[in-house]
Structure 1
Amino acid sequence: MRIVIFMLMLISGVGHSSETCLDIVSDVDTIMAAKEQGRYRYAIGDGQAAVDISDNPSFATYLRRANQWLKTHNPRAHTPCPVNTATVQLLQQQQQLPANTQVHHLLSPFELRQHNNDKVALLFHGLTDSPFSYHSLAAYFYRQGFTVRTVLLPGHGSAAAQLQDAEFSQWQQLARYAINRAANEFEQVVIGGYSTGAALAMAELVAEPDRANIRALMLWSPASEPHNKNGWLAKWIDRVPFVNWIDKDADIDFAKYESFPFAAAALAHQAMSRISQDALTEAELPNIPLFVVQSEVDTTIDARATLNMLKVWHDPQKRPQTRHDMLVFYGQQQAAKALLGAAFDIRSYSCQRGQPPCEDVIDISHIGVVNAPQHPYYGRQGLYRNCGSYLEDDARYRQCKVGEVIVGERTAANLSQQRPLKRLTYNPFYAQLEQDMSAFLARVMQ
């Protein structure tokens, strides 16, 4: 199947050097064809989903291997991709990226290097994502004096079908490798995770809670429990022959899979099961401060499950460092306070239509929290539109891609509006988020 798809891509000119990763984003006819044909859904090369780290390579060697893996497996690896994020500019200044970037450059894990080994922020991306999802936050951490490291989870960075080749043990191996490398090479370590990457990072720290120089765990939209409570079924459905996909989208986003196989849901379930309330209640929790960002209307992850997870984690008997914990909550603070208690430091924000900083934004989505409004691809003026709510309705899907839209999370109320919903891909409260992160880091870094 991969060979057939790759030949079709060559015949149709996909990946040709005359086009860029941005050309397709607003070409609705090409988008609709890609959605129907699945031309971006399959990787090339062998079915090897992970970079080899069995020999415990240096982090620089790991980065080189990951980039080579991307160039071998991603069918658009060499497509020009002129997306000039703040992190791209920093990597170019450090001569780690060329002036003319291609897709493989932007999807590769990276290291923004300081001239010391004082402190590092190690960041794990989410399910179907890539290190590109950290291009706003990485620039922030670098400005705060951190070396910033990211990794590429096995099965990511090529095409959505590659997730069918990944194994959860490979995710665990990579997390353990990256955390141990950071802990051995830097005096102070901050571990960060977005969505499923948050669950993976948290589970790894719970498994080995006594690493002395880890100063904090920072989580954005952490995967506690899926909003859809049938997610546990995915591992069984994934074993049924020819039943492979939950969603089939156009996959025009060069940095994030839009199609979603059952195998991906099964992987996510394995990650989340390790940080369930029951698992955390029985575990020896690491005595490190916790910073969490969560939207109340998140339709990917159950926000209440995240609050319940925090309640278990916020146990002064197990973790004296609970006094430093902080929650940034996009919703009504009373709902969080009622569950977590008055002593928990909660910073809450909610959108008021027509008023800055939200303006035309209704509410905050799961996928938007990590991107600044100025992000050139996902931001307020970015070209990309997330329209996956209308996969079964071509007319609404087409209208969402090029017509007038509303912006927010894909809640039932938002989807019932006359205009189609473009799922929010940036955080209108990003400036406040940076201020809250700075306040938290000032507490916990020595």
Structure 2
Amino acid sequence: MSLNGILLTLTLLTTSSLAIGQTNCVTQLTDLNYIMNSKKQGLLRFEKSNANTDFSYQSEQAFSDYLSFAYQHILAANPRASMPCPVLTDTYQLLVKQQQRTSPPNIVDLIAPFELRQNNNHKAVLLIHGLTDSPFTYHDLAQIYFQQGYTVRTLLLPGHGTAADALSSINAKQWQQAVDYAIKRTIKDFDQVILGGYSTGAALLLNYLTVKPANPKITALMLFSPATEPHNKNGWLAKWIDRIPFVNWIDKDADIDFAKYESFPFNAATAADDAMRSIALPELIERQLPNLAIFSVMSDVDTTIDTRASLLLLSALHDVKIRPANSLDTLVYYGDKTTITSDFPKDYRVLNPQCKNATCKNIHGISHIAVVNSPDNPYYGIAGAYRNCGSYLDDDTLYKQCKTTEKPNIGERTAENIAAFPTFQRLTYNPYFTEQALYIKQFIKQVEGSQDNQ
């Protein structure tokens, strides 16, 4: 490295260290100067060290060993891992009560994989997050399952929890290896298992279930904004563009969101595309999904995933001859129900919540990233400090306005919404979360009832 390069690196590290030392993960969200510097200079875009990534993912290894490994990996590689982060979700407070975390939390404590433990090994739910996310994705949903008597386990997909650049050297096979380990280990440890996946995590679960031998311990599959096909049909080009020297990033953002990467390398798109191709319908229909019930949640205006492709996949899997448990299949569909085409199975239970209170008024579509978070989430919710302004990465003026305007317009970042409103914030919480929680509880009771009758 040249002398100028060394000096620049030292300057960025010093700037980052000073900012981190003077604030916490919430107050940093209001430091517009730091946000803009981080966006421009990539202060948080790169891991701080070549941390140990060596975990064998053999099912003989205890899940507690995996949790310890993942925590230490984040601590070593994430540039803000030790930053105070006073985001006290119900799940975090329960982890403290169970003596698995301390209070107040640092960032590593909130984004590391966790296990909410019951006092038995009867039943568990394993939850897999999506691309660029972390297990913080499940802090709200975890409460629903725990209240139903389930031990809740989460996984950190390789390349996540540290810095966005970590996704530049990852592939879908590594994600699948981690998911396979978590499923096998959880089946070993519990009598009944529900699998839940958000976005890319849903695709990885579907691939496992249709490739591996069926296991009667797995009783249900729950899919949140499942990744089936990208909304942008040019995703397959990412692997070729990534081979061009010095062309590494699709998006360069500030990465100020402690729980989710905001910058996005081309290789991440390649890996995600590979994960989705593994469950592409022409191949998937040649396999067989085990006899378990499916619960799905999706939005009609999802701009990350093609909702029509997801509906086609659910239709293909809804086969009473192969899978009698399909009588319990449930779809929670946000938006215009008439966009569900006539070829969707008529016997599918479709729930279509309608706006009845102030929480959902003036929201312009439920976004891909919103479905898993409660309006009460202290970080992503109505009163949360974080704002998703990724629609304006190429326009600093609009980006700043989105971050600072008193009352931004919120919803899914469709082309129509971006054109209609001067500043637009992508929705980060689900205004129908209370109803969704009720639907999940009803579904679980039905699944458990069907198991008792077998």
Normalised by the length of structure 1, the TM-score is 0.96
Q: Structure 1, residues 112-163: CA drift from partner, whole Å, max 9, x if none?
A: 0000011101000000000001000011111111000001000000000000
1:349 Cα deviation from its structure 2 partner:
2.4
Distance 1:129 1:414 in 2: 24
Say if 2:368 is the partner of 1:366.
yes
- SS state at 2:140 partner: helix
CA distance in 2, matches of 1:6, 1:119: 50
Q: In 2, distance between residues paired with 1:167 and 1:214?
A: 26
- Given that 1:6 and 1:44 are in contact with CA atoms closer than 8 Å, whether structure 2 keeps it comes out as no
Cα distance in 2 for partners of 1:195, 1:226 equals 10
Tell me what 2:289 maps to: 285
Alignment partner of 1:434 is 2:448: no
Match of 1:99 in 2: 103
Counterpart code for 1:101: P
Is the contact made by 1:307 and 1:339 (CA closer than 8 Å) also made in structure 2?
no
> Cα distance 1:143–1:83, how it changes in 2: closer, same or farther (>3 A)?
same
Give the superposition deviation at 1:55.
7.5
Tell me whether 1:410 sits opposite 2:392 in the alignment: no
1:267 aligns with 2:241: no
User: Which of 148, 154, 158 pairs up with 1:154?
Assistant: 158
1:28 and 1:42, CA in 2 relative to 1: closer, same or farther beyond 3 A?
same
Which deviations, in whole Å up to 9, do the C-alpha atoms of 1:69-128 show, x marking residues without a partner? 011110111001110001101101101110121011111000000000111010000000
CA deviation after TM superposition for structure 1 residue 332, in Å? 2.2
From 128, 144, 159, give the equivalent of 1:140: 144
Amino acid at match of 1:378: Y
Matches within 5 A, 1:202-213: 202-213=206-217
Distance 2:398 2:54 in 1: 37
Distance 1:55 1:361, change over 3 A: closer
- Alpha-carbon deviation of 1:317? 2.1
1:5 CA drift (Å): 4.9
CA distance in 2, matches of 1:51, 1:409: 37
The answer as to whether partners of 1:224 and 1:305 remain within 8 angstroms in 2 is yes
2:144–2:441 CA contact under 8 A, matched in 1: no
Percent identical among aligned pairs is 49
1:76 aligns with 2:116: no
* Deviation for aligned residue 1:426: 0.2
**Shift of residue 287 of structure 1?**
1.3
Query: Cα distance, 1:280 vs. partner?
Result: 1.5
Report how far residue 336 of structure 1 moved: 2.3
TM-superposed CA distance for 1:417, in Å, is 2.1
Aligned AA (2:32): V
The structural deviation recorded for 1:357 is 3.4
C-alpha contact 2:207 2:278 (8 A) present in aligned 1: yes
Q: 1:129 aligns with which of 110, 130, 133?
A: 133
Residues 11 and 383 from structure 1, CA distance in 2 versus in 1: closer, same or farther, beyond 3 angstroms?
closer
> What CA distance in whole angstroms lies between the structure 2 residues aligned with 1:399 and 1:83?
25
The answer to whether the aligner puts 1:419 opposite 2:422 as a matched pair is yes
CA distances 1:237-260 after superposition (whole Å, capped 9, x unpaired): 222221100000010001100000
Once the 2 structures are TM-superposed, how far is the Cα of residue 10 of structure 1 from its aligned partner?
3.2
1:219 aligns with 2:223: yes
Distance 1:6 1:255, change over 3 A: farther
User: Does structure 2 conserve the Cα–Cα contact (< 8 Å) formed by 1:56 and 1:177?
Assistant: no
Cα distance in 2 between the residues matched to 1:56 and 1:35: 42
The answer as to whether partners of 1:67 and 1:104 remain within 8 angstroms in 2 is: yes
Q: Which runs of 5+ in 2 are unaligned?
A: none
Paired position in structure 1 for 2:192 = 188
Return the letter of the residue paired with 1:178.
A
Alignment partner, residue 396 of structure 1: 398
Aligned alpha-carbon RMSD (Å): 1.8
SS at match of 1:71: helix
Structure 1 Cα separation of the partners of residues 130 and 240 of structure 2: 22
In the alignment, the residues of structure 2 paired with residue 161 and residue 8 of structure 1 have an alpha-carbon distance, to the nearest angstrom, of: 16
Structure 1: any 5+ residue segments left out of the alignment? none
Aligned residues: 444
Where 2:139 maps in the other structure, the secondary structure is: helix
Paired with 1:66 and 1:442, the residues of 2 have a C-alpha distance of 33
C-alpha displacement at 1:283, in angstroms?
Answer: 0.9
Letter in 1 for 2:401: Q
- Partners of 2:19 and 2:34 within 8 A in 1: no
2:252 and 2:266 mapped to 1: Cα distance?
Answer: 11
**Aligned match of 1:309 in 313, 321, 324?**
313
Alignment CA distance shift 1:55-1:279 (3 Å): closer
User: Are 1:380 and 2:382 counterparts?
Assistant: yes
CA contact (8 A) 1:44 1:74 kept: yes
Counterpart of 1:391, as a letter, is L
- Give the TM-score, by structure 2 length: 0.94
Match of 1:117 in 2: 121
Q: Deviations over 1:178-228 (max 9, x none)?
A: 000111111110000000011011111111141111000001000000000
Residue 16 to residue 356, structure 1, CA distance change in 2 (3 Å): closer
CA positional deviation for 1:261: 0.3
Alignment partner, residue 45 of structure 2: 41
* Worse-superposed segment, 68-77 or 416-425: 416-425
What's the secondary structure of 1:89's corresponding residue? helix
Contact 2:51–2:73, Cα closer than 8 Å, also in 1? no
**Do 1:289 and 1:321's aligned partners in 2 also have CA atoms closer than 8 Å?**
yes
Sort the Cα spacing of 1:127 and 1:151 in 2 relative to 1 into closer, same or farther, 3 A. same
